[in-house]
């Protein structure tokens, strides 16, 4: 089992939508970039949501700029875990991030999107009080392991959650 440590959050004071994954996969940890695995559809999805259809082709710093420009923030529910491989089902000995503190520091966050089942389950376990304070949505995972959802399916569901309060 390898020790896995989350990254710092990507956020600014204009952010309104916080996307929470569970824990970066092996490729992301190696590259020190969120959603670095080329088969993960996260950046393609964010590109569609931000009307920047070639986002996944841009360098990482540009992706982050566009993410923030469109009022998104990015982090993980978990700060630390032990895991063999990249699958969420292999996560053990998890320790959560300090999400309540982050939300206090960034009061413009109104929507929390939980990218996949593990992120949603861990968020509900560690932060049940936040479920009534924010619009929280369990979203279908952008992971290649979620083969049943096409990018168009992901877009429809994520877009609906984002626009629920607008």
User: Which pLDDT tens digit goes with each residue over 69-90?
Assistant: 999 999 999 999 988 878 777 7
pTM of the model: 0.94
* Cβ atoms < 10 Å from Cβ of 124: 15
What's the rounded mean pLDDT across residues 33-53? Answer: 93
Distance CA 29, CA 114 (A): 20
How many domains in the chain?
Answer: 1
* Nearest residue to 69 (alpha-carbon basis) of 50, 53, 48, 42: 50
Distance CA 150, CA 163 (A): 20
What's the rounded mean pLDDT across residues 118-147? Answer: 93
Catalytic residue among 40, 53, 70, 159: 40
What CATH number does residue 141 fall under?
3.40.470.10
Report residue 131 as tokens.
């479920």
CA distances from 15 to 5, 18, 105, 118 (A): 24, 7, 11, 23
The verdict on whether 71 is a catalytic residue reads no
- Determine the structural domain holding residue 52 and report its residue range: 2-162
Is the pLDDT at 127 greater than 70? The verdict is: yes
């Amino acid at each position: 089992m390898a020790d896995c440590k989350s990254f710092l959050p990507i956020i600014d004071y204009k952010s309104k939508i916080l996307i929470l994954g569970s824990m970066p996969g092996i490729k992301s940890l190696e590259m020190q970039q969120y959603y670095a695995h080329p088969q993960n559809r996260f950046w393609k999805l964010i590109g569609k949501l931000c009307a920047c259809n070639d986002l996944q082709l841009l360098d990482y710093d540009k992706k982050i700029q566009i993410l923030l420009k469109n009022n998104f923030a990015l982090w993980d529910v978990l700060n630390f875990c032990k895991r063999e491989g990249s699958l969420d089902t292999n996560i053990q000995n998890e320790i959560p991030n300090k999400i309540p503190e982050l939300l206090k520091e960034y009061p413009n966050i109104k929507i929390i999107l939980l990218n996949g089942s593990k992120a949603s389950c861990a968020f509900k376990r560690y932060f049940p009080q936040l479920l009534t304070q924010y619009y929280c949505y369990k979203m279908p995972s952008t992971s290649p392991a979620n083969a049943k959802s096409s990018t168009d399916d992901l877009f429809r569901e994520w877009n609906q959650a984002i626009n629920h309060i607008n």
